[in-house]
């Protein structure tokens, strides 16, 4: 333990355990009296020199990357139900796997998750790797990262996709760091460079002003988190058949203990799933005025969204924020009230099917993306809309 400069080794039940803050510096490897610690380069074979290319050899993945095959999707689930982003990953993963001529698989961790496995197959997974264990019933970073890392090392997928959800954003970087590979966060586009057999990972950069396409040529797997509601969902087909591979893993006890799960109940409708969203911005002027947004949302059966300006002002919780640093949404109808349409806001709602903008400034940029624009005072327009919709709903 004393050889580790980072304090990343503990001894549990007489066995050395490496903690998450291990940097793979290697200081401990030669020091263990039982020779029980070795630094194994998971990715060594993907590097040109490892396959005898030597200096000046071809850079890129050709050397050993063909041992890494297949597209994996992390099947995030809650209470045994896959999150809807998983079906979008399967839809996109199918295209990538077909372009590569490789298999599409899902990796499912949890407890009593057999129904979820069948759903994944119906949505296109050819194989589902399941680790079913009570210790994995609820998501926790450490055990999930440990098990997934071991599975990737064992089965060597070439591409590994996760949803850019709270869970995916926490798990992805941990797994990537353990595997010493790259991770492109928050992708909005994925494709295959067929000649080089590389994953092209596209995401907004510099505040959404440019789209950057990122490659991971030398390490495997190529990892990406993908934004919700950007990719098309895989179609369900109950006639599909697939293989379920059950695996047992020894799960190290996590340092954190899950005390209880508290469900968030204040949101009327889950923003990411909503078909209609009514959003309020700085134009509302104060927290109490969100009431008129909520009234309209209630009549429409919609969720309530907000711009960052409204969230920063403390008028509404962060869970409602739409945009680059909030949620990405893609409803059928997005109604923006008193929102100017800054690029960072558009990054989160620009792909909505129909955008209705209500703003008193006719030159507000939101009108550039709006399907319907109403130039007017939201305090007149929104209550009038609510009243009219109430009438037509027969209230
Ligand atoms: C790194 C970074 C990340 C960011 N992430 C996000 C993000 O995730 N989401 C986000 O939204 N922003 C984000 N922002 C902030 C963004 O740049 C804008 O500042 C923000 O979106 C502005 O919010 P707004 O449109 O409500 O306010 P404003 O830009 O102030 O616009 C208010 C609008 O209300 C209109 N208005 C005023 N009164 C009325 C009225 N009575 N009736 C009708 N219209 C009225 C005005 O004409 C104006 O157009 C980010 C910024 C940065 C730098």
Tell me the CATH number at 286. Answer: 3.40.50.1220
Q: Does residue 223 sit within a domain?
A: yes
Q: Does residue 255 sit within a domain?
A: no
Per-residue model confidence (pLDDT) at position 256: 86
Q: Which two tokens stand for residue 301?
A: 């059966």
Q: Does residue 291 sit within a domain?
A: yes
Task: For the chain, 395 residues long, give each residue's pLDDT as a single digit of tens.
Answer: 888 888 888 888 888 888 877 877 888 888 888 888 887 665 555 543 443 333 333 333 444 667 899 999 999 999 899 999 999 999 999 999 999 999 999 999 999 999 999 999 999 999 999 999 999 999 999 999 999 999 999 999 999 999 998 899 999 999 999 999 999 998 989 999 999 999 999 998 876 678 899 999 999 999 999 988 788 899 999 999 999 999 999 998 888 888 888 776 655 557 877 889 999 999 999 999 999 999 999 999 999 999 999 999 999 999 899 998 888 888 899 999 999 999 999 988 988 889 999 999 999 999 999 999 999 999 999 999 999 999 987 65
Residues with CB under 6 A from ligand 1: 207, 281-283, 307-310, 321-326, 338-340, 342, 344-345, 348, 358-361, 364, 377-379
Q: In terms of domains, do 124 and 212 share one?
A: yes
Residue where one domain finishes, among candidates 198, 214, 247? 247
Q: In terms of domains, do 303 and 240 share one?
A: no
Looking up residue 82, the CATH number of its domain turns out to be 3.40.50.620
Q: Which two tokens stand for residue 319?
A: 């869970």
Q: In terms of domains, do 364 and 323 share one?
A: yes
> In which residue are the tokens 């099917």 written?
353
* Best CA proximity match to 77, nearest among 124, 123, 115, 27: 115
Which phi and psi (to 5°) does residue 369 adopt? Answer: -110, -5
Per DSSP bridges, beta strands 276-280 and 303-306 are parallel
Distance CA 194, CA 250 (A): 38
pLDDT digits (tens, 9 = 90+) for 328-379: 888 899 999 999 999 999 988 988 889 999 999 999 999 999 999 999 999 9
Per-residue model confidence (pLDDT) at position 175: 97
Q: In terms of domains, do 203 and 298 share one?
A: no
Q: In terms of domains, do 4 and 148 share one?
A: no
Q: In terms of domains, do 152 and 280 share one?
A: no
How much distance in Å is there from the Cα of 307 to the middle of ligand 1?
6
Q: In terms of domains, do 285 and 180 share one?
A: no
Q: What's the domain count of the chain?
A: 3
149 close to 175: Cβ distance less than 8 angstroms: yes
What is the domain range of residue 297? 271-392
Per-residue model confidence (pLDDT) at position 97: 98
Which phi and psi (to 5°) does residue 277 adopt? Answer: -130, 135
Ligand 1, from 280, 307, 317: best to mutate by most atoms within 8 Å of Cβ? 307
- The string of DSSP codes covering 338-382 is S----HHHHHHHTT-SEEEEEES-TT-THHHH-SEEEES-HHHHH
Distance CA 152, CA 221 (A): 8
Which phi and psi (to 5°) does residue 338 adopt? Answer: 65, 35
Q: In terms of domains, do 4 and 106 share one?
A: no
Per-residue model confidence (pLDDT) at position 12: 82
Q: Does residue 266 sit within a domain?
A: no
Rounded to two decimals, the pTM is 0.68
Ligand 1, from 308, 365, 367, 369: best to mutate by most atoms within 8 Å of Cβ? 308
pLDDT digits (tens, 9 = 90+) for 267-297: 555 787 788 999 999 999 999 999 999 999 9
Q: Which two tokens stand for residue 55?
A: 């200096």
Q: In terms of domains, do 182 and 73 share one?
A: yes
Q: In terms of domains, do 236 and 356 share one?
A: no
Q: In terms of domains, do 110 and 223 share one?
A: yes
Q: In terms of domains, do 383 and 237 share one?
A: no
């Amino acid at each position: 333990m004393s050889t580790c400069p980072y304090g990343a080794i503990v001894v549990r039940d007489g066995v050395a355990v490496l903690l998450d803050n291990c940097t793979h510096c290697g200081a401990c490897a030669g020091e263990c009296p039982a020779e029980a610690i070795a630094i194994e380069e998971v990715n060594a074979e993907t590097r040109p020199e490892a396959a005898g290319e030597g200096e000046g050899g071809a850079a890129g993945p050709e050397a050993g990357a063909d041992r890494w095959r297949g597209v994996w999707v992390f099947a995030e689930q809650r209470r045994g139900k896959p999150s809807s982003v998983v079906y979008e990953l399967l839809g996109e993963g199918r295209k990538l796997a077909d372009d590569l001529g490789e298999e599409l698989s899902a990796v499912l961790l949890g407890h009593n998750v057999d129904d979820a496995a069948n759903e994944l197959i119906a949505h296109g997974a050819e194989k589902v790797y399941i680790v079913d264990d009570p210790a994995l019933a609820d998501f926790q970073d450490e055990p999930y990262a440990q098990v997934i890392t071991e599975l990737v090392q064992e089965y060597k997928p070439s591409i590994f996709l996760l949803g850019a959800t709270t869970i995916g954003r926490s798990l992805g970087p941990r797994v990537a760091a353990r595997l010493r590979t790259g991770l492109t966060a928050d992708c909005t586009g994925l494709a295959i460079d067929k000649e080089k057999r590389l994953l092209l990972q596209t995401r907004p950069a510099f505040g959404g002003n440019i789209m950057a396409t990122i490659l991971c040529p030398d390490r495997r797997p190529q990892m990406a988190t993908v934004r919700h509601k950007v990719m098309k969902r895989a179609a369900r087909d109950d006639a599909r058949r697939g293989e379920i591979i059950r695996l047992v893993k020894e799960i190290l006890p996590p340092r954190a203990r899950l005390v209880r799960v508290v469900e968030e109940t204040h949101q009327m409708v889950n923003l990411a799933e909503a078909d209609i969203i009514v959003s309020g911005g700085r134009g509302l002027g104060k927290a109490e005025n969100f009431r008129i947004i909520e009234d309209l949302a209630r009549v429409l059966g919609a969720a309530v969204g907000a711009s960052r300006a409204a969230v920063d002002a403390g008028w509404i919780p962060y869970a409602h924020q739409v945009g680059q640093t909030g949620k990405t949404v893609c409803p059928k109808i997005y109604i923006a009230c008193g929102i100017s349409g800054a690029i960072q806001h558009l990054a989160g709602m620009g792909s909505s099917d129909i955008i209705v903008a209500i703003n008193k400034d006719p030159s507000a940029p939101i009108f550039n993306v709006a399907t319907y624009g109403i130039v007017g005072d939201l305090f007149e327009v929104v209550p009038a809309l609510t009243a009219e919709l109430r009438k037509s709903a027969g209230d």
